[in-house]
A = this chain, B = another copy of it.
Amino acid sequence: VNVHIRMLNQRTKFDRGIYDAPAVSHLKALLFDVFGTVVDWRSSLITELAAFGQRRGVMADWPLLVDKWRAAYDPSMDRVRKGERSWTTLDALHRESLGAVVASLGISGLSLEDLNELTDAWRRLRPWPDVKEGMQRLATRYILGPLSNANVALMVRLRKFAGLPWDFVFGADLWQHYKPDPEPYQAACRLLDLRPNQVMLVAAHNYDLRAARIQGLCTAFIPRVTEYGPRQTKDLEAEECWTLVASDLRDLASLLST
């Protein structure tokens, strides 16, 4: 018995059949948050950047650079969310913040082309070990795709690199809004021609699930307790009674009988 499995009101899957549960019996599509939930961005970026540094003889504390780079992520989107700057893709925000972080750390020897190349590392992130099998099982019954803050071009490359069995690729440039603004959740359901309760967001982040639930979507929490490295302090567990809580995507596939 997997003790991480919790359904509505903390029922386990042994209390009643999943497909008798009103919460998921009409489910048609699963939307996935990507950075953190599907791919291990931190270790992937550290590996890519350290290899680049070694190849090019550039010295730096690469894990520190990656952590500072990611720390700039949400504030940079927030300026767009608040209307303080016009629509800007995540690729462009990543490129900008990398330049700022490199300068702040005093790293020298990087050209503009190098910064562009390093930004492309976001297109080559590795999935967590459970993702391939879990996604393939879920794909046998559900329509699958990302609901990420990435732009389409970034997500299409990442999907190709990681070999993810997605039926579509959405990106924030389609609606020019970043989660947790309501538009991404609403637009995804509308484009799929599904009611919100036929759609489930799968995410490792409680804030994302909260925003999805407000729009009427079903929710599944997957903890990724090392997403931010060994000293992660947030999103270690489900903070609310989400529709489903699973230990990873294989576990979610089992919960959904696939």
* Chain A interface residues (CB < 8 Å from chain B): 91, 143, 145, 151-154, 156-157, 159-160, 167-169, 171, 173-174, 191-194
Give bound CA distance, A143 to B153, whole Å: 10
Give bound CA distance, A192 to B155, whole Å: 9
Q: List 13 A-B contacts (CB under 8 A).
A: A143-B156, A143-B160, A151-B191, A152-B168, A152-B191, A152-B192, A153-B193, A156-B168, A159-B167, A168-B169, A169-B169, A174-B174, A174-B191
Nearest CB of B to A117, in Å: 15
Given A169-B168, A174-B174: A153 touches B91 (CB 8 Å cut-off): no
Residues of chain B with a CB closer than 8 A to A157's CB: 143
Give bound CA distance, A154 to B152, whole Å: 19
Say yes or no: A156 contacts B167, CB within 8 Å. Answer: yes
Residues of chain B with a CB closer than 8 A to A160's CB: 143, 167
Give bound CA distance, A95 to B168, whole Å: 24
7 new A-B contacts at CB < 8 Å, known A159-B167, A174-B174? A152-B168, A153-B194, A156-B167, A156-B192, A167-B169, A173-B191, A174-B191
